[in-house]
Amino acid sequence: MLRAFVLLALLSGLAWWLNGEREHGRFRQVDEFFLDFMLANARPRLKPDPAKLGEVVFVRLREEDKKEYAGWPPLPIDYLMIARGLAAFDPGVLVIADPLNWKSPKPDSLPELAQALLPIPGVVIGVEASSGGAADLVTIKFVADHLPALERLHGQAELLPGLHKLAGLPEPVLLPQRDIGVVTGPPWFMALRLRDHAVPSLVLVALSRASRTPFAHQRLHTGPGAGVHLGDALFVPLQDDGSIVPVSLTIPSVNGLDLMTSDMIDPEGGAAKILGKGKTIVMGIDNDGTIATPARAQAQAIAGALALPRVRVLTFVEQIAAWIVAALLGLSLLRLPKHKAVGGALLRLFAALVASYLAFQGALIWCPPAIPVALIAAAGLFVRLLGKKDPALIPAPSPLVPKP
């Protein structure tokens, strides 16, 4: 009984200490390695759910309608009118897939466009990366001032292409309080490498906004099993080089002309039914051709990623319950003789990992394993050192031999 109380106290202290270490970022790689292993086996199941594709709406600025716009490519006044129409539907994120840059003399409506975008809580605009040339000082400074950094690169980071010079920087008046993402186009890379970190693409910035995942909680893995993790819940599979897996999806769309004046928005019409509060809106130039335009391809990538099944990570209370189960498995080792403690601990570890694997494969439920594994292993070590001996192995006392 004394051994049980001592072991229980040691395991409780160990769990408390390990949880504190985990909150400081330590032991994170153990849990991430296990999650990567689980996802590698569940990868064929990670397909977009058609029922969730409606959370992303593509606002099409059709080339076939270019005579209806103030200019072509569209001018700031066109984007201004569409933005005002969209604001009435209270979108969660607005992604403008085409770079907002115009030649001099600059249009007078640029300040009005900046004001029209203010009511929309999350606006993501793109900056185009050129196809050649090393990043110059202008590019490096713009990235440092306006683009977030993705510092957690795993796997074969050298497969990720480097960032070239940025072309067509967004108009300065549109930059404050806006999120910026790089438009690579095609192949569409989730990020580009710059020095010791990665610069996120327009798609990744949009996913970050829509899923409300800070970049500090993201990591990009290249090479075998490539993908981007947005927290622990959302994993987007990628090609080995970090490019987006091309998927042709049919997503809801609205003609941009239908949003240019409030009089054209029919409350009972199709646009009002498709647009809705909190949705992610991708706006860009499109046409009626069968080959996806850059804006349409990025809208499909964003919609497909957000429609992927999510991993359900156990809540903190549920994880405590898992730790208690692990501690009880460790306490059960006290029933074994000390020479069987290591084998018993390994058997319990194997059973716990198999149970975790089956739960993940069946329902994508995941429990970070570092603390439960440590508890069972620590219990095995305790019993091996201080456990009871097997009575069968204790030599019998020698019989007393009478003196002659």
**Region label for 14, one of left (φ > 0), alpha (ψ between -120 and 50) or beta (otherwise):** alpha
* C-alpha span between 226 and 40 (Å, rounded): 9
Is 393 part of a structural domain of the chain? no
Distances from the Cα of 330 to the Cα of 18, 324, 361, 375, angstroms? 16, 10, 26, 7
Q: Is residue 396 part of a domain?
A: no
Of the three residues 306, 321, 343, the one that is the final residue of a domain is 306
- Are the C-beta atoms of residues 384 and 342 closer than 8 Å to each other? yes
Same domain, 17 and 144: no
User: Where is the domain boundary, 306, 336, 362?
Assistant: 306
Same domain, 72 and 17: no
The reply to whether 401 falls in a domain is no
- Which residue in 106, 123, 166, 160 sits closest to 283, CA to CA? 123
Residue 260 located in a structural domain: yes
Write out the H or E segment, with its range, that includes residue 144: helix 137-146
Q: Residue 404: inside a domain, yes or no?
A: no
322: helix, strand or coil: helix
Cα–Cα distance, 263 to 129 (Å, whole number): 38
Where is the domain boundary, 306, 324, 351? Answer: 306
198 vs 218: CA distance, rounded Å: 11
What is the pLDDT, as a whole number, of residue 263?
47
CB under 8 Å, gap of 24 or more: what pairs does 62-69 form? 62/255, 62/256, 62/257, 62/286, 62/287, 62/288, 63/285, 63/286, 63/287, 64/287, 64/288, 65/255, 65/256, 65/257, 68/257
Indicate whether 158 belongs to any domain. yes
Pair 343, 379 in one domain: yes
**Bond prior to 369 in cis (omega within 30° of 0):** no
- Per-residue DSSP letters for 74-93? PPHHHHHHHHHHHHTT--SE
Please tell me whether residues 15 and 109 are part of one structural domain: no
Closest among 283, 291, 300, 294 to 60, alpha carbons compared:
283
* 373 plus 285 within the same structural domain: no
**Is residue 199 located within the same domain as residue 247?**
yes
Q: Is residue 400 part of a domain?
A: no
Q: Which two tokens stand for residue 162?
A: 């480097």
Q: Residue 20's domain spans which residues?
A: 2-42+311-388
Q: Is 351 a member of any domain?
A: yes
The two tokens of residue 47 are 């397909």
Query: What is the bridge-based pairing of β-strands 234-237 and 227-230?
Result: antiparallel
Domain check: are 280 and 296 in the same one?
yes
Q: Tell whether 66 and 128 lie within a shared domain.
A: yes
Q: Do residues 143 and 252 share a domain?
A: yes
Angle at 340 between CA 380 and CA 387, to 5 degrees: 60
Q: Do 237 and 326 lie in a common domain?
A: no
- Based on the structure, what is the number of domains in the chain? 2
168 and 35 belong to one structural domain: no
Residue 95 φ/ψ, nearest 5 degrees: -110, 120
10-residue mean pLDDT series, the chain (404 residues): 86 90 79 88 89 92 93 93 90 92 89 92 89 75 89 88 86 89 88 88 95 92 92 92 87 90 55 83 94 93 94 92 93 89 93 91 90 93 84 58 57
Same domain for 82 and 60? yes
Separation CA 119–CA 83 (nearest Å): 9
